[in-house]
Each structure stands twice: as structure tokens, then as C-alpha cells.
Chain A
């Protein structure tokens, strides 16, 4: 019985990982321009980026998912639950990743900028060859911790019908009436998935930080 429950809940793992990965990819990609906008010399662009970040983070993820899935889905455009979950969580991830990039940027010693200037590197090379490699090293561990949080946030995708772990747990509990075991197993499953991610993060943190100029 227990084995059957575990197997049934575990069938949601691929979807959980897929939503996490898709949302994180969207967030990591869109976070970069959003972060750049906050350093723009135009007040309007800076203000827009700040407002966008505030709004994305002030409204609960569940409301974003419903806005996209039900709001846009009813009459505006065709969107399936997986896409809605990935886009909704991805937009929130973009706001958070932008903040992570911003923190990482602030942690890079200003001597690095000065040295790049002194070597007469062009703006492009200053950023791509000097700043970006260090930026990524500092941002990666915080980004990875954020990804672990995102993994748990994907549970809300079950409310719009993405058949991930929480969705499978709900239906298994409705079918078997072993709700206590079902949700305990589902919770453990999330912990089990996030453990290796946490170890990898800690390992990467130590390795990467050793190669950033102080």
C-alpha cells in the first residue's frame, strides 16, 4: 500500500523539476535586464524597474498564477497550466534574481572597475571579461538557494492543475483516504529533493568564492 502511494506521488517529480527549471531559467534570464534597468541613467527606466520589482514581489505567487492562467487564459490567449506556472513563477523569480544580481554587483570591489578602466578596456570587455565572471561566481550560490525555495513554491502549480508532486498527493489522498501518510510522504519527498541541491550549493559556494578578488 505504502509503496503504491509513494510510486503514485513520485510520478509528479518530473513535473515539479520541470516547473522549477523552467521558472528558474526565465527568472535568471529576465533578471539580468531588470537589474541593468535599475542602474540606468534615465530616472524613468530606473523607476519603472523598481516599481516592477516591488509589484512582482508584493503580490502572492498564487495570485500571479491565477491572473495568468484564468485571467489571460479566458479569452485572451491559449495557455496551458504548465506554461502559466512557468511564466508566473518565472516573473517572480526575475524580480528576485535581479535583486541577487544587484547584491552581487555591489559586492565586487570597485578596484576591479578602476583596474579595468586603467587597462583601457572597452565598456563591453570591462563587463564581460572582468565583472561578469566574478558577478556570476558571487550570484550563483544565492541563486541556487533561491532555486531551492522555488522548488517548494512550485507546489502551488497544483492549484491550476500541473500534475506535479502536490497535485499527485492531493489525488492520491482523495483516492486512498490515507491522507496523513500521503502528505507526510509528499513533504519528505520535497525535503529529499532539496537536500542534494543544498549540498551542491554549499560546495559551489566554497569553490567559487575562492576565485573572486577581494
Chain B
């Protein structure tokens, strides 16, 4: 047991470096993906058919294709079309696509939850469509979407582990390198798993708390 703890002590700094990169990729893909999700949520409800079709295609491909395939498409595929991206950039773009596709559904559900009377009232007091969206529908709809968006963010931190496949030195890649050098795969992956758990378990408990808090005021 002491032996394992010592090994963990030696490996922890490297794994924490990896974890930081995992968190950076997650933050970058969320920063890009959630606004994309909002745009797509509005896009699939657009009056123009072409906008609707494009938004729907982006959403369906982003949700239908595995994140791993999108990652490899960006990292291995795009260079053959003359666009070589670093592993961090391609990871961010690919995971942002996934994020945009899934969050658009979450946000759309939130916007749909705003009662129709609110939109009618906004129109009745003479707000333009844009203002009605900005000041009436979005603030209420996004509040409903908040807990599932946080849950999704936790899932994206887990999905960042897929970047192992495109040689991004994040947590799992670092653990894998240490494992293949020391052949102590069991101990190192247990430690890596614990690091994910230390972040994800409190985070998901906090989300369910938030969910209960927000639900308290709904009628």
C-alpha cells in the first residue's frame, strides 16, 4: 500500500498537468460550443428554410456521430484537405461541434418551456421580435436550461478524455504514458479515475442541488 502511495505521489504532478489541459480543452469547447448551441437553437426555429436546414444538419451530425470520430475527422482528416490544426485546436473545434449540437437541444427545450403568454405579452407591449427574445424569452428560458447545461459540462470534461486518441497530452494520455513506462497500469488508472471523480462527483451533486433549488419556485 505504501508502495502504491509513493508511486501516486511521484506521478501526481504529471497527472495534474494533464488534468489542467483536460480542463482547458473543456473550457475552450464550452466557450465556443454553448454560444453555437444558442445560435443553433434559434436557427432550427428560423422562418427561413435554408437556415433551418443548415442548423438541423449541424445538430444531427453533431449528435449522431461519435465525438471520437469528430475528433479524428478534425485531427487526421482536415490535414488531407490542406488544413493542419494542432491537436488542441482540433480537439476544441470537434468537441465544440458536439457541444453545440447537444446544447442546442437543451436550450431549445428551455425556450419552449417559456409560456406562450409571455411572448404574446411582449408583442402586446410593442417589443420587437429581437427585444422580446432578449428581454423576455431568453432570460426565462436559459434559467430552465441551466441545470442540464451544467450536467452537460461535466460530461464534456469526461469526453475530453477522448483526446487521448489524437495525442493531446491530457489526463488519460499522461496516465497511459506513465503506465506503459512502469507497467503499473492498475494504480495509475485508479489515480486518474479518482482525479476525474474528485471533480465530477461534487459537481454533479451541486447540479442536483441547483435543480432542486430552481424547481422550488416553479408552479
In Å, the complex CA distance between A96 and B171 comes to: 24
Q: Out of B64, B79, B190, which one reaches A194, CB within 8 Å? A: B64
- Residues of A within 8 Å of B76, CB to CB, are 170, 173, 179, 183
- Inside 8 A of B158's CB, which chain A residues have their CB? 59-61
CB–CB B200/A70 < 8 A: no
Determine the chain A residues whose CB is within 8 A of the CB of B159 once the complex forms.
60
The reply to whether B176 and A66 contact each other, CB–CB distance below 8 Å, is: yes
Residues of chain A in range 154-197 having any CB-CB distance to chain B below 8 Å = 155-156, 158-159, 166, 169-170, 173, 177-180, 182-184, 186-188, 190-191, 194
Q: Which of B66, B67, B172, B193 has the most CB of A within 10 A?
A: B66
Verify A187–B73 contact, CB threshold 8 A: yes
Q: Cβ of A183 and Cβ of B72 under 8 Å apart?
A: yes
Q: How far is the CA of A182 from the CA of B175 in the complex (A)?
A: 29
Give the residues in chain A near B60, CB-CB below 8 Å: 191
> Nearest A residue to B202 by beta-carbon distance?
A58
A212 within 8 A of B: no
* A174 nearest CB across to chain B (Å): 9
Inter-chain contacts of B69 with A (CB < 8 A): 155, 166, 169, 183, 186-187, 190
Given contacts A178-B80, A187-B73, contact A63 B193 (CB under 8 A): yes
Residue A153 interfacial (CB < 8 Å):
yes
Q: Say yes or no: is A48 at the interface (Cβ < 8 Å to chain B).
A: no
A99 to chain B, nearest CB (A): 12
**Contact of A63 with B200 at beta-carbon distance under 8 Å, contacts A173-B77, A180-B77, A180-B78 already known:** no
Contact (Cβ within 8 A) A67 B165: no
**A194 CA to B176 CA in the complex, in Å?**
31
**Which of B5-13, B32-40, B178-186 forms part of the interface with chain A?**
B178-186
Given A54-B201, A66-B176, A191-B60, check contact A158 B189 (CB 8 Å). Answer: no
Judge if B89 is at the interface, Cβ distance under 8 Å. Answer: no
Q: Is A55's CB within 8 Å of the partner chain B?
A: yes
Task: Verify B204–A74 contact, CB threshold 8 A.
Answer: no
Give the residues in chain B near A54, CB-CB below 8 Å: 197, 201, 204-205
CA distance A90 to B174 in the complex (A): 25
Q: CB < 8 Å: which of B81, B165, B204 contacts A57?
A: B204
Enumerate chain B residues within 8 angstroms of A186, measured Cβ to Cβ: 65, 69
CB <8 Å contact, B64 and A191? yes
Q: Quick one: CB contact mask for B132-166 with A, threshold 8 Å, 1 for yes?
A: 00000000000000000000000000110110110
Residues of B in contact with A (beta carbons under 8 Å apart): 60-61, 64-70, 72-73, 76-81, 158-159, 161-162, 164-165, 172, 175-176, 179, 183, 185-186, 189-190, 192-193, 196-197, 200-201, 204-205
27 examples of A-B residue contacts, CB within 8 angstroms:
A55-B197, A58-B196, A58-B200, A60-B161, A60-B196, A62-B161, A67-B186, A67-B190, A70-B179, A71-B186, A155-B66, A155-B68, A158-B165, A166-B68, A166-B69, A169-B69, A173-B77, A179-B80, A180-B80, A182-B77, A183-B76, A184-B73, A184-B77, A186-B65, A187-B69, A190-B64, A190-B69
